[in-house]
Structure 1
């Protein structure tokens, strides 16, 4: 009997010592009774729904489990108690998510809304690279562009047999004359090109290479809309308001400045980068004013852009963009958060190709006394030792403030140690990683390894409108239900870390954390008082 008791004592001690390394231990020292109670409540609901939701058969899904493929299970997720708790729409009891630190601005607003905006623009045109037929309608990609004058075309519709490839047709004309279902058929075709659907993610494009081809084509389908200034301005306001509506108080979206000019209201490519920042600042001011009228100004801390360009540039070409980023930071110090390079790491140039211009950039930033860090994508790959995986070494040696994705970092114990010791957070995008085929499900994702090793992580949506996962609630949900160890306090630490590892200054972080704590306790108290579940 004594040996058995000793064994169980040593077992409990080992489990506790192991769990003490987890990141949320930073929060465990000062929990309220209601936080402890709320944690028990959501764990109880999760356990119950593992059986009642994920343990039963559904006609449309053949292999249910918590954290399974998002695009297949989204309808089921929407109906769960846990998701309703995480995404609760009634402020101020919504779960406060903190900051969104990794999202690409042109994929952050619902595609249906984007098409609505396009249909309101009198100068908008559309074209296709071939005649659209029933056979190719799921693969042919529309392109949009505004022209003040109607463009001459031999055809009235992209579905006409005599349609000349790549000829522009007024949008409303093309929509009304679409022979594959009329306006509704046109909308289905256009919107289908802007998103990834389950059949593509898990069937026809179920490898990293294939899904990236589809993924990149969605941006080609929307570029002419998001890069049209009248739409861009409305798009920015919508992004800010939708983010706030999901409990996000601060945002650092990435914007691709690769195109040196945006199209103006007349369809002319004349709008320089500084005008984009003016529009962003205006959108922030308008959102603040709207929230002030509602008496909710405190729910919005602010927003900044991370300046990005593409990894297809030569090192010499990159120098122009680095200088442009510096100039914009000097003119708009409160709107530029940092600099990044984006693109498919598996096929695009690795960071090592850009060492000279990036080191020169860091020195120039230092000489000018600017707070303009590198915030680099790295390790968004299945590779182990390939160029995409090795980007992690260069990102850390270059002094990146955070690591975008960092999916493969769990293969590198020294790099994990450096992130933990130096306070370099990982911008983890669970649903994005799953849909883009880095993992088959969230239980297979390396996020628990990161958390268990005490590495700071933030949860992010990456390209939510392409994935149909608007806001952050879906990512929080998938992470929560995929681990029996992860609890409400884990989500609390992740939200707090998103503020701590943002580019806000010390005073702004303290203010943002204080407001977050207020809303967090409102959320927790409401959960305990109104869940109908005893916490004992």
Structure 2
């Protein structure tokens, strides 16, 4: 093949610039209108990113070998917090949070703090605790009825402690062996069991299946505290508060309705799903009323629930959960936004196993006069042609409104085309994908491929409590610093897409976008004035 001929190097450089320009013009953030304030703010952010790439990321940091922008989050988090760019982005109005699991959205320290206020909550250890076993033995929590409260004052760390014996949560903390750190050692033990640390993510559990084992165990530990009605109420309120504080104005949160009951204040497992939603609804109303009293009602449009259950249930159980979802939708039509099946795709049942049951669910919805769209997890995998990867085909054929994660979607040009044509938004969870070992850093994440091929995308946090990235600022930061081309306008498009592709009714959606737009204008004007 004959090579392209140029009259001179000047012509080569001219053609080079034209090729780069025409390529970048295809990016959505390069083909949209930009105000003068946005252009100035974008320039400031780009210059700040470039400056901090040298002043922050090219310098040495104790305990962080070879730092770089977009590096492994759990290792680089302490550096991120030192940057001016993170501070700027923390003030950004981020639109909607469309993909997060409610039982992993509130800071673990806060959960433990409010749990310690509840006399009914108890803890036990399945084996003796010692300095050698503390990092591997997981605490187990549960509410107990008063007549089952233990009489003994035995501590979890006493030599006389019988493994599996319940101890009052408050007493367990107060009596924790000083040799194991005392009360602070107890806190460290519990919080460590509810979160993922750098050593686990990048050393001891550094494969997808291994880190999922740790990840799954954090839910098992945390749910013993969270699935208790008095804590549940405070937990939900804190989730709303922290979301608004980080600039999130709307949430569609996945609630796992497995099992069928949570514990009540009396220590009995007797709170049905209907009551879960009643508490959620009441707490949402209280939170919005408080914002309104402060003249801040436009900062938070509201919250809806994506009804979820786990991918290990059988078809008979699926039918029960589908009927339960319909019943809840009939009573709480403003809350139920969609339906999903969750859990590690690589090891649990694929969507094809549930497809016939999900089609029957569609038919039952018509009979019941409700509409509950599928908003399905699919393609959260490194596989190509595996069951987890093929879930993408089934999600699209089942009519999913959005795709949760869709990490392997870029391997399928036809599916990308279909998503683009149908406006199927991809709920991308950058930090979650990295910690769960789908990518080693943000620089290797397929997000730019999705965006630059015209697919609608929203950034999401997935399970921030496990990762220490409350809100969305960390995810936006990691995406921004991993590119030298994308800037503030790209983040604007991601934030707006999160509201445009929400399940809000048209009038609510228009109000949400309008309120976000006004806050965005104030945000860029503030940056432009710096």
Partner of 2:440: 440
Residue 3 of structure 2 is matched in structure 1 by none
Q: TM-score, normalised by structure 2?
A: 0.96
1:206 and 1:151 mapped to 2: Cα distance?
Answer: 41
**Paired residue secondary structure (1:270):** strand
Post-superposition offset of 1:181: 2.0
For residue 485 of structure 1, report the CA deviation from its aligned partner: 1.2
> How far off its partner does 1:363 sit?
2.2
The 1-side partners of 2:522 and 2:150 are apart by 59
Quote how far apart the aligned CAs of 1:2 are. Answer: 4.7
1:165 & 1:260 partners in 2: Cα distance? Answer: 28
2:277 alignment counterpart: 277
Matched, 1:18 2:23: yes
Which deviates more, 504-513 or 342-351?
A: 504-513
Deviations 1:409-463 (A, max 9, x none): 0111111111111100110000001111111100011111111111111001101
Once the 2 structures are TM-superposed, how far is the Cα of residue 153 of structure 1 from its aligned partner? 7.2
Preserved CA contact (<8 Å) 2:326 2:368: no
Which structure 2 residues correspond to residues 125-274 of structure 1 after superposition, within 5 A?
Answer: 125-149=122-146, 150-152=148-150, 156-179=154-177, 180-274=180-274
| Conserved 8 A contact 1:153-1:169 | no
**Equivalent of 2:81 in 78, 82, 85:** 78
Q: Tell me, what secondary structure is at the counterpart of 2:142?
A: strand
Match of 1:55 among 42, 58, 71: 58
Q: Paired residue for 1:353?
A: 353
For residues 125 and 479 of structure 2, what CA distance do their matches in structure 1 show?
Answer: 39
3-state secondary structure, aligned to 1:313:
coil
**Equivalent residues of 1:237, 1:287 under 8 A apart:** yes
2: CA distance, partners of 1:411 / 1:153: 60
1:109 is matched with 106
Distance 1:451 1:30 in 2: 17
Residue 119 of structure 1: how far off its partner (Å) = 0.7
- Residue of structure 2 in register with 1:299 after alignment: 299
Q: Is the 8 A contact 1:251 1:303 kept in 2?
A: yes
Q: How far did residue 339 of structure 1 move?
A: 0.2
Compute the TM-score of the two structures, normalised by the length of structure 1. 0.95
Partner of 1:31: 34
Cα displacement string for residues 312-332 of structure 1 (whole angstroms, at most 9, x for unaligned residues): 011121010011111111110
Aligned residues of 1:406 and 1:427 also touching (Cα < 8 A): yes
Aligned residue runs from structure 1 range 370-389, under 5 A: 370-389=370-389
Segments of 5+ residues of structure 2 without an aligned counterpart are: 1-5
The alignment status of 1:515 with 2:520, answered yes or no, reads no
Asked whether the equivalents of residues 205 and 211 of structure 1 are also in contact (C-alpha less than 8 Å), the reply is: yes
CA 1:318/1:106 → structure 2, altered by over 3 Å: closer, same or farther? same
**CA-CA distance at 1:3 after TM superposition:** 4.8
How much does 1:163 deviate?
2.1
For residues 245 and 409 of structure 1, the distance between their equivalents in structure 2, rounded to whole angstroms, comes to 33
Instruction: Tell me the C-alpha RMSD between the 2 structures.
Output: 1.4
Q: Secondary structure at the match of 2:404?
A: strand
Q: Does 1:414 align with 2:417?
A: no
C-alpha distance in structure 1 between counterparts of 2:366 and 2:360, whole Å: 10
Check whether the contact 2:154–2:160 (CA below 8 A) recurs between aligned residues: no
Deviation at 1:22, TM superposition (A): 2.2
Question: What is the rounded CA distance, in whole Å, between the counterparts of 1:126 and 1:271 in structure 2?
Answer: 21
Aligned residues, how many? 522
SS at structure 1 position matched to 2:32: helix
State the partner residue of 1:67: 70
How many Å separate the matches in 2 of 1:238 and 1:453?
Answer: 37
Q: Secondary structure at the match of 2:258?
A: coil
Match of 1:42 in 2: 45
Q: Secondary structure at the match of 2:189?
A: helix
